[in-house]
Structure 1
Amino acid sequence: MTTVQHPTVQDPTFRPTAPVPGAPAPTVAYAAADVHVDQHAVEQFLYREARHLDDRDFDRWLDCYAEDAEFWMPAWADDEELSRDPQTEISLMYYPSKGGLEDRIFRIRTERSSATSLPEPRTSHNISNVEVLDRRGALVDVRFNWHTMYFRYQTVDPYYGTSFYTIDFSGETPLIRRKVVVLKNDYIHHVIDIYHV
Structure 2
Amino acid sequence: MSTNTTATTTADLGAICAFLYREGRYLDDREWEPWLELYAADVDYWMPAWDDDDKLTEDPQSEISLIYYPDRNGLEDRIFRIKTERSSASMPEPRTNHMITNVEVLAERGDAVDVRYNFHTLCHRYKLTDHFFGTVFATLRKVESGFLIARKKIVLKNDYIRQVLDIYHV
1:1-197 equivalences under 5 Å are: 36-78=10-52, 80-118=54-92, 120-197=93-170
Deviation at 1:95, TM superposition (A): 0.3
* Aligned residues of 1:134 and 1:142 also touching (Cα < 8 A): yes
Quick one: distance in 1 between partners of 2:137 and 2:99? Answer: 15
1:85 Cα deviation from its structure 2 partner: 0.3
Partner Cα distance (2:11, 2:132) in 1: 30
After superposition, the C-alpha distances for 1:135-162 in whole angstroms (9 at most, x for unaligned) are 0012000000000000111111111000
Q: TM-score, normalised by structure 1?
A: 0.79
**Following TM superposition, by how much is the alpha carbon of 1:36 offset from its aligned partner in structure 2, in angstroms?**
4.1
C-alpha distance in structure 1 between counterparts of 2:91 and 2:102, whole Å? 33
Segments of 5+ residues of structure 2 without an aligned counterpart are: 1-8
User: 1:124 aligns to what SS in structure 2?
Assistant: strand
Q: TM-score, normalised by structure 2?
A: 0.92
Provide closer, same or farther for how the CA distance between residues 107 and 59 of structure 1 changes in structure 2, counting only shifts above 3 A: same
CA–CA separation in structure 1 for the residues paired with 2:66 and 2:53: 15
Letter matched to residue 76 of structure 1: W
Q: Percent sequence identity over matched residues?
A: 58
Structure-1 separation of matches of 2:144 and 2:98 = 26
Distance 1:194 1:153 in 2: 18
For 2:4, the equivalent position in structure 1 comes to none
Divergent runs of 4+, >4 A? none
Unaligned runs of at least 5 residues, structure 1: 1-34
Q: CA deviation at 1:171?
A: 2.5
Number of aligned residue pairs: 162
Q: Looking at secondary structure, tell me which structure has more helix per residue.
A: 2
CA RMSD of aligned residues (A): 1.3
